[in-house]
Amino acid sequence: MSFGGFELRTIDVDAGRIRLRTGGHGPPVLLLHGHPRTHMTWSKVADLLAPSFMVICPDLPGFGESYVPPDSSDSRYSSKEAKAAAMVELMSRLGHDEFFLVGHDRGSLTAFRMAMNYRQAVRKLILVDCLPVLEHLERADWKFARDWYHWFFFAQPDKPERVISADPEGWYDKLSPSLMGEEAYADILATIRRPEAVHGMMEDYRAGIRIDHLHDRADREAGRKVGCPMLCLWSSQDDLEQIYGNPVAIWRNWASDVCGYGIDSGHHVAEENPGDLTKAIVGFLNG
């Protein structure tokens, strides 16, 4: 049984309803998942963290069973700025005005924006398999276009939803119950079979191309950086380091106190190597 002893809940924030699981004992740590996952991707890590931390695992807005932000021409309601505000509000409603923060993939982008915009709330920040959107776009080359083409396909209007919803299991053909666990697999299948949820996930990418990079640029031009201690992790069997070189060197342009290293895993490290990921999280948060 995953999430042993955790409570499945829904909490309303100003923008809509958030689905989440909470459990454990100790200082609060918020875990934010990536695409196309839901909070269920954290089940193994959450169980390992629960003896030492109060663990909060939500579905991000636009993902899983959380609210789907309304549409706008610039995708502002799906921006990482808007999602950061919703996550900070969620934590406040849970009674946590300060907390540790961990993000993976798209969840890392929201976590980064939380650390930039809500400095008083985030005590320490851990980002996995992530760079700021602006860094991705400015460094994009033929390898990025070849391997990360989905960034630009998902950013197109309407067609991604039509293609994915025509055969969701064919599009997301790497999903595996043996890797994810039966409960997480069933949860993600339910998500990708709902057209409104697919739309919410696509809007997350459209926001990256339309508005998130503008927020990054404004921070860079103003000289703002993440002020809390930050750990940058990446999956060594994925391609972040291969495309960009040492991610820590890039993050030093965006954070005042950053360290990091690779973990032996494919992209979905919370499922593929939860033990080493948990050790990294605990070591950094307790350090």
Q: Which residues are catalytic?
A: 105, 267
- Classify residue 151 by burial, with Cβ atoms within 10 Å: 0-12, 13-18, 19+: middle
Among 51, 1, 44, CA closest to 23: 51
Residues contacting residue 152 through CB under 8 Å, at least 6 positions apart: 145, 209
Report residue 18: phi and psi, to 5°.
Answer: -110, 130
How far apart CA 117 and CA 110 sit, in angstroms, is 10
N-terminal to C-terminal alpha carbon distance within the chain: 30
Q: In angstroms, how far apart are the furthest CA atoms of the chain? A: 48
110: left (phi over 0), alpha (psi -120 to 50) or beta: alpha
